[in-house]
Chains A and B, each alone.
Chain A
Amino acid sequence: MFLLGVATIPWITWLGIAALSRSSFNTKVDVPKSQPIPFSHRHHAWELGIDCRYCHWGVEKSAWANIPSTEVCMSCHSQIWTNSPLLEPVRQSYETGTPIQWTQVNRVPDFVYFNHSIHIARGINCDVCHGPVQKMQITWKGNSFQMQWCLNCHRAPQRYLYRDPAYPNLSPRQQVFNLYRKLQDGEPLSEREHEILGGDYDGTNNPEKIANGKMLVSRYGIKVEQLADCSICHR
């Protein structure tokens, strides 16, 4: 019995490490991070309905979505809430020309060459990766960003690509942001769109939708056989 117990120790340790590295203790998924200013995506993106691109203006055309500069904040906050004590650090930053030191929430390692623009251009919604941002009072990480998670889509993009049948004339890029407008305007949403906005979207297993996704893969010219190559992300 004693020997049996000893023999299980390595396995328990191994499983423990495996579980720990996947848990939010390590990945920080669903853990709101404290920020110098308690910025609320829920307030700005949902209650006020500001488009994502107003602040993250690089997302359609560059690798980086961009953390907005103080000037972007001040474009509104020089007019409204000008005396709010919560916004004191923003005014400080504006006067001294020192950037606000936000705590980074979503990070990929330096050896990963992630590009936002191509994902937007193929109609991958912000919330697919970032979780239900429009619901976040204090921003948290929506997904682990572990390689296995990236490969879910890179190995089977047909499970993730879709076209909104209500707006067949929008480009995939326009469709991304149209979803948030539809949410604002209370337009009816499909099951998939509900999942995306709820932050628990993990592709579809519906054969019909997958067939549709496959059609989009070929229309967008996505080379699936190359999509999971090392050099796609690690140059």
Chain B
Amino acid sequence: MAVQEQLPREILIGGEQNYGSVNQIIDKVILNNGLHRKWFYITLLLGVMGTGLMLVSIGWLLYMGIGIWGNQIPVGWAWDIVNFVWWIGIGHAGTLISAILLLLRQQWRNSINRFAEAMTIFAVMCAGMYPLLHTGRPWVDYWLFPYPNILGLWPQYRSPLFWDVCAVSTYFTVSLLFWYMGLVPDMASLRDRATNKFAKYGYAIACLGWRGSAKHWHRYEQANLLLAGFATPLVLSVHSTVSFDFAMSVVPGWNPTIFPPYFVAGAVYGGFAMVLNFAIPIRKAYKLEDLITMKHIDWMCKIMLATSLIVFYGYAMEVFFGWYSGSKGEIDLTVYRMVGEYKLEYWMLIFCNCVAPQTMWFPKLRQNLWVVWIVAAIAGLGMWLERFVIIPMCLQINPLPAIDRPYHPTIWDIALFTGTIGFFTMLMMLFVRALPTINIFEVKDLLYKTIRSEGKSEIIKPATAVGVE
């Protein structure tokens, strides 16, 4: 890759900043308790309540079995798998930002990567829950993993469901390591600045004895690059593997060859939408406008637009494949989608993922945070509908005459989904409260680079030093 021209500072970092002020802006969210207003506690409370709902739903599910869900034959995969794919997709923005944009030396990633990586981890936690519960006997879920067991059995390596287990667990592990490693220097900086004794000790333990020496930084950079290398293929492979769960089967509507790239694009689309949905309010509430600038939001909107066009192409191709296959099952399914039982969901999907994001062509609308937030929320809904259109809808239409009733979710399907959204919100709120939402040292590094490129020389101290005021 070519060495990039240094982007001007005003684009990436607003206001007159120095190392101290960068530290101030980010640390105060954690160290200054007074900064958290009523809305923070209300959102946190909603998240905690949602988590409670999730726990109740899981408890009842374990007691009663998955019969409490709407799943039936032929729709054996329903909301549980829809939600799984949706949540996995949400996480993709984080990996894309932290891995691919790092390797491409995109400097604008620096202020949103931490945030997006945290979302990745929490989203994968929510996602992983679904297939584990879907097995019906979660207490023996360790059978999913290949280990020498007393049953003398290995998982079926030819099954995409097993590939899925590998893909998702690798994804979670790498994302967690990536996120935590990036946090280490920042937690050291918080350790130095915290006045509360418990916070100080907590960060001191969590930062693994980081002192900011040249050796530490050298190792950090090496490890970061290595992990980025690991994570980069994951951006593409995880959702491709998820798409194989469908594409490897013989169900009409599940085997267009476009599935893997179209799933990945959809994941990035939904992921960036979720980043925007959380970033915009938090940026506003904690006055982070100088670090997450309008330019950042602008770029994220453009990625959303680009990926929405790819998924639009995917939907068009699905219709084309349906017709071009010449098979009755495929054609019936394509028609059923548009005019059948769930036509409302299908046309809403087209609106959410194809029509609504077209607003992002206009620079004016990309600068309007309300419009951006609403379009992002619509995109999140759209991506959920996409999975609904793919999973239960394809299973519903079936040549057997005995299929007499359409699939409908039950109250427990809805409760568990609402619950996981609450769980995710709770984790995000706790993350905002306890850990730096923006990567402190990378922003300082960026500040150093931009100032140097302007030819000024007042900041020549090494940008990455810890605790520089």
- Where the two chains meet, the residues of A that have a C-beta atom closer than 8 Å to any C-beta of B are 3, 18, 21-22, 144, 146-152, 155
Q: Does B32 contact A (CB under 8 A)?
A: no
Q: Which residues of A contact B250 (CB under 8 A)?
A: none
B129-150 at interface with A (beta carbon < 8 Å): 148-150
**B151: contacting residue among A18, A147, A152, A155, CB under 8 A:** A147
Q: In the complex, A152 Cα to B153 Cα: how many Å?
A: 11
Query: Is the contact region of chain A dominated by helix, strand, or loop, or is it mixed?
Result: helix
Q: Which residues of B contact A18 (CB under 8 A)?
A: 148
State whether B150 touches A21 (Cβ < 8 A). Answer: yes
Q: A27's closest neighbor in chain B, by CB?
A: B150
- What distance in Å separates the Cβ of B328 from its nearest Cβ neighbour in chain A? 32
Q: List 9 A-B contacts (CB under 8 A).
A: A3-B208, A18-B148, A22-B150, A147-B150, A147-B152, A147-B153, A148-B151, A148-B152, A149-B152
Q: Which residues of A contact B150 (CB under 8 A)?
A: 21-22, 144, 146-148
Q: Which residues of A contact B208 (CB under 8 A)?
A: 3
Q: In the complex, A37 Cα to B173 Cα: how many Å?
A: 57
**B149: contacting residue among A3, A148, A149, A155, CB under 8 A:** A148
- Where the two chains meet, the residues of B that have a C-beta atom closer than 8 Å to any C-beta of A are 148-153, 208
Q: In the complex, A152 Cα to B150 Cα: how many Å?
A: 11
Q: Which residues of A contact B149 (CB under 8 A)?
A: 148
Q: In the complex, A155 Cα to B152 Cα: how many Å?
A: 10
- What distance in Å separates the Cβ of B140 from its nearest Cβ neighbour in chain A? 13
Give 4 A-B pairs besides A22-B150, A148-B149, A151-B152 with Cβ atoms closer than 8 angstroms. Answer: A144-B150, A146-B152, A147-B150, A151-B153
Q: In the complex, A146 Cα to B153 Cα: how many Å?
A: 11
Q: B152's closest neighbor in chain A, by CB?
A: A148
Q: A14's closest neighbor in chain B, by CB?
A: B147
Q: B149's closest neighbor in chain A, by CB?
A: A148
Q: A147's closest neighbor in chain B, by CB?
A: B151
Q: Which residues of B contact A151 (CB under 8 A)?
A: 152-153
Q: Which residues of A contact B151 (CB under 8 A)?
A: 146-148
Q: Which residues of B contact A144 (CB under 8 A)?
A: 150
Q: A21's closest neighbor in chain B, by CB?
A: B150
Q: A230's closest neighbor in chain B, by CB?
A: B153
Q: In the complex, A200 Cα to B150 Cα: how many Å?
A: 19
Q: B150's closest neighbor in chain A, by CB?
A: A146
Q: B209's closest neighbor in chain A, by CB?
A: A3
Q: A146's closest neighbor in chain B, by CB?
A: B150
Q: In the complex, A150 Cα to B148 Cα: how many Å?
A: 15
Give me the 9 closest cross-chain CB pairs, A-B, nearest first: A148-B152, A151-B152, A146-B150, A147-B151, A148-B150, A147-B152, A21-B150, A148-B151, A22-B150
Q: In the complex, A149 Cα to B153 Cα: how many Å?
A: 11
Q: Which residues of A contact B148 (CB under 8 A)?
A: 18
Q: In the complex, A18 Cα to B150 Cα: how many Å?
A: 9
Q: In the complex, A50 Cα to B150 Cα: how many Å?
A: 36
Q: A152's closest neighbor in chain B, by CB?
A: B152
Q: Which residues of B contact A147 (CB under 8 A)?
A: 150-153
Q: In the complex, A152 Cα to B148 Cα: how many Å?
A: 14
- What distance in Å separates the Cβ of A142 from its nearest Cβ neighbour in chain B? 17
- What distance in Å separates the Cβ of B300 from its nearest Cβ neighbour in chain A? 37
- What distance in Å separates the Cβ of B204 from its nearest Cβ neighbour in chain A? 14
Q: Which residues of B contact A155 (CB under 8 A)?
A: 152
Q: Which residues of B contact A22 (CB under 8 A)?
A: 150
Q: In the complex, A48 Cα to B208 Cα: how many Å?
A: 73
Q: Which residues of A contact B153 (CB under 8 A)?
A: 147, 151
- What distance in Å separates the Cβ of B268 from its nearest Cβ neighbour in chain A? 34
Q: Which residues of B contact A149 (CB under 8 A)?
A: 152
Q: Which residues of A contact B152 (CB under 8 A)?
A: 146-152, 155
Q: In the complex, A136 Cα to B246 Cα: how many Å?
A: 56
Q: In the complex, A149 Cα to B151 Cα: how many Å?
A: 8
Q: In the complex, A148 Cα to B151 Cα: how many Å?
A: 5
Q: B148's closest neighbor in chain A, by CB?
A: A18
- What distance in Å separates the Cβ of B344 from its nearest Cβ neighbour in chain A? 42
Q: In the complex, A113 Cα to B138 Cα: how many Å?
A: 25
Q: In the complex, A146 Cα to B208 Cα: how many Å?
A: 44
- What distance in Å separates the Cβ of B199 from its nearest Cβ neighbour in chain A? 22
Most A C-beta atoms less than 10 A away, residue of B148, B152, B153: B152
